[in-house]
Amino acid sequence: MATTTKTPARTATRLDVPKTYKLFIGGAFPRSESGRVTEVLDKRGAFVANVAKASRKDARDAVRAARKAQPGWAGATAYNRGQVLYRVAEVLEGRKAQFVDELQRTEGLTAARAQQQVEAAIDLWVLHAGWTDKVAQIGGHANPVAGPYFNLSVPEPTGVVAIIAPQEQGLLGLTSVVAPALVTGNAVVVVPAAASPLVAISLAEVLATSDLPGGVVNVLTGDPAELAPWLAGHADINALDLTGAGDLDWVELEVIAADTLKRVLRPEPGLAPETPQRILALTETKTVWHTKSRL
Amino acid sequence: MTTPSAALAPAERAVQLLGGDLSEVALRRHLEGLPAVDAVGLEARAASLGTRSIKTSSKQAALDLTIRMIDLTTLQGNDTRGKVHSLVAKALVPDASDPSTPRPAAVCVYGDMVGNAVEALGSAWSNGRDDGINVAAVATAFPSGRASLPVKLQDTRDAVAAGADEIDMVIDRGAFLEGNYGKVFDEIVATKEACRRTDGTFAHLKVILETGELVTYDNVRRASWLSILAGGDFIKTSTGKVQPAATLPVTLLMLQVVRDWERLTGERIGVKPAGGIATAKDAMKYLVTVAETCGEAWLDPHLFRFGASSLLNDVLLQRQKLTTGRYSGPDYVTID
């Protein structure tokens, strides 16, 4: 006997199910410990979603998670890191529609412009996936020395990197700073663009389902001006990427960061994106001496 | 820092409480007559005590007090003399960046390492004074307690002879669970006697219940009473080798026993949670529980201790945060 499933007739309008966008810390999606949220409105002033507003204690927890995850990520083979970053691109590709929709709502873009941005971000992940096992050839050297030694310099990840992401083009800007840090094995605590929190947390959902170990990327939606000084002063952060901090008092942030000898990337003039130099800016150089054997 | 032993003669407390003909029957009647523990109420009370928010100057005081209450511990099979020396160095100068940092109450080591610890402490060893660092030794076939009584007693005497100011003994959990309270009692009394130094004073006796192996709260309450009656100066939750180790509800329960004992006799017994307390936040929950259960008089290293190794570093990080106003990191404390 054939049965047919019929959609029940819609007599009343269906209720909206708005999503609460929470933070991304240590592979989980907690609310802010402060309990604060920010209301996100679209360009016409209609309610879109509540987004968690991170506090300094969330930043502290994120740094702790990043510190814990960093050795494992740096210890993975470059080939494996490349696979994971490529996987991010794959998963992003499958969820393109969601990102296009969120960009249209928060940044007021046309569908075409939003799609362009999402595709550029996907391509950027693919680009960085390719660099994982190649950047050492660009940044490493065999140094000539006056003695019977091999002398080799190789780039090593600097450790935990705090990033203030660019304030324009939420998804592409975020990708352009997070992906280069991940290539060599850094762990990241990132404050995304204040105006585009939705795509940042959706990207976190993509990262969480792309075999990226929990804690390697931590996303703190909130006010960059509030969080940046705490990140700049935190003694367990090794580098501070201020690419998106052009509107903040970034000189003061650099001064704070100097107390703990952090590597600082300034917003001005900034480094050209999509270059190996952008990736190598967040590495240390390790030099090893090895005797030449006399067989 | 030294605490005079509370008991005049080992089994005297039991005789006074249970009557002259101290028998196992009387002991059993007392222990099994103790009221049962309301587990849900106990856990709810512990959880509510863990929610207090402690800020600024109170937090600063709590952090310093926590350090002063720590028994800095290394109890590994691979302990070396060098490791004991670095443990002692850490106790002497917990934070090289801040000379105002207080020192922990004691270092806790295996019995054969007592001599090394005493030597490494040098003039900082308390040795009967109230202002130095004590050496605590685990004894009586720690952590399992599975050895014959003469072996356990010799273990204790060796540690005391080598200079141990405090002895952390384990009870025979097997005998306790079999209901053989008399055997457990006699072993504690005998160990207490073995803590006697040549000059007639006693090393401080801490009795480890190993609550993780006693299973029920009722058993923890009975074992606490048993240990106090037999002459223990401190009751300690765990060896740190069994999970679960110290928990807040178990510690609260033991603090309640100690409070009841003080009301009954006026005598103050110490409590030492050990194992699994790794953060300053956890430590502060314990301090709140102590103050709310036994009163602020118990916020004293003579009456409350933390058995811990990694706790100290976390407390130092929080202390640095308070001093500098910025979050610190593990690069700024020692690697133990």
Q: What is the CATH number of the domain that holds B230?
A: 3.20.20.70
**Contact status, residue B139 vs residue B156, Cβ threshold 8 Å:** yes
Quick check: is B5 in a domain? no
Q: Which of B53, B318, B326, B333 to mutate to test the interface with A (most CBs of A within 10 A)?
A: B326
Q: Is B272 a catalytic residue?
A: yes
Q: How confident is the model at residue A2 (pLDDT cuts 50, 70, 90)?
A: low
Question: What are the residues whose beta carbons fall under 8 Å from the beta carbon of B146, sequence distance 6 or more?
Answer: B174
Question: Which of A230, A236, A259 is opposite residue B329, by nearest beta carbon?
Answer: A236
Sign of torsion, CA B19 B21 B24 B25? negative
Rounded to whole angstroms, the Cα distance separating A88 from A192 reads 18
Q: What does the pLDDT read at residue A17?
A: 87
ipTM, interface predicted TM-score of the complex: 0.84
Angle B49-B53-B56 (CA atoms, 0-180°, nearest 5)? 140
Q: Does B325 touch chain A (CB under 8 A)?
A: yes
User: What does the pLDDT average to over A168-183?
Assistant: 96
Q: Does B332 touch chain A (CB under 8 A)?
A: yes
Kindly list the residues from chain A whose CB atom is less than 8 angstroms away from the CB atom of residue B280.
none
Domain that holds residue B127: 12-326
Could you tell me how far CA A195 lies from the centroid of its own chain?
16
Q: Does A249 touch chain B (CB under 8 A)?
A: no
Measured between CA atoms, the residue of chain A closest to residue B331 is A236
Q: What does the pLDDT read at residue A192?
A: 97
User: What is the biggest distance separating any 2 CA atoms in chain A, rounded to whole angstroms?
Assistant: 89
Catalytic residue among B272, B282, B285, B314: B272
Q: What does the pLDDT read at residue A273?
A: 85
Q: Where are the beta strands (DSSP E) in chain A?
A: 20-21, 37-41, 47-52, 141-142, 149-157, 160-164, 187-191, 217-219, 239-241, 263-265, 283-291
Tokens of A176: 């352009």
Q: Is B192 a catalytic residue?
A: no
Kindly list the residues from chain A whose CB atom is less than 8 angstroms away from the CB atom of residue B335.
none
pTM of the model: 0.89
Quick check: is B2 in a domain? no
Quick check: is B25 in a domain? yes
User: What does the pLDDT average to over A83-112?
Assistant: 96
Q: What does the pLDDT read at residue A264?
A: 96
Quick check: is B236 in a domain? yes
User: What does the pLDDT average to over A111-121?
Assistant: 97
pLDDT tens-place string over residues A4-45: 566 666 667 898 888 999 999 999 999 999 999 999 998 889
Q: What does the pLDDT read at residue A11?
A: 66
Residue among B331, B333, B4, B334 at smallest CA distance from B165: B4
Catalytic residue among B236, B282, B285, B314: B236
Measured between CA atoms, the residue of chain A closest to residue B325 is A233
pLDDT tens-place string over residues A243-271: 999 999 999 999 999 999 999 999 988 88
pLDDT tens-place string over residues A198-235: 999 999 999 999 999 999 999 999 999 999 999 999 99
Asked if B329 and A233 come within 8 Å (Cβ–Cβ), the reply is no
- Structural domain spans, chain A: 20-291
Quick check: is B114 in a domain? yes
Question: What are the residues whose beta carbons fall under 8 Å from the beta carbon of A118, sequence distance 6 or more?
Answer: A92, A96, A99, A100, A103, A171
Q: Does A233 touch chain B (CB under 8 A)?
A: yes
Q: Does B97 touch chain A (CB under 8 A)?
A: no
Residues of chain B with pLDDT under 50: 1-10
Kindly list the residues from chain A whose CB atom is less than 8 angstroms away from the CB atom of residue B320.
235
Whether the pLDDT of residue A79 is over 80: the answer is yes
Quick check: is B335 in a domain? no
Q: What does the pLDDT read at residue B3?
A: 42
Q: What does the pLDDT read at residue A177?
A: 97
Q: Does B327 touch chain A (CB under 8 A)?
A: yes
A20-291 topology per CATH: Aldehyde Dehydrogenase; Chain A, domain 1 (3.40.605)
Quick check: is B165 in a domain? yes
CA distances from B67 to B50, B93, B239 (A): 19, 12, 20
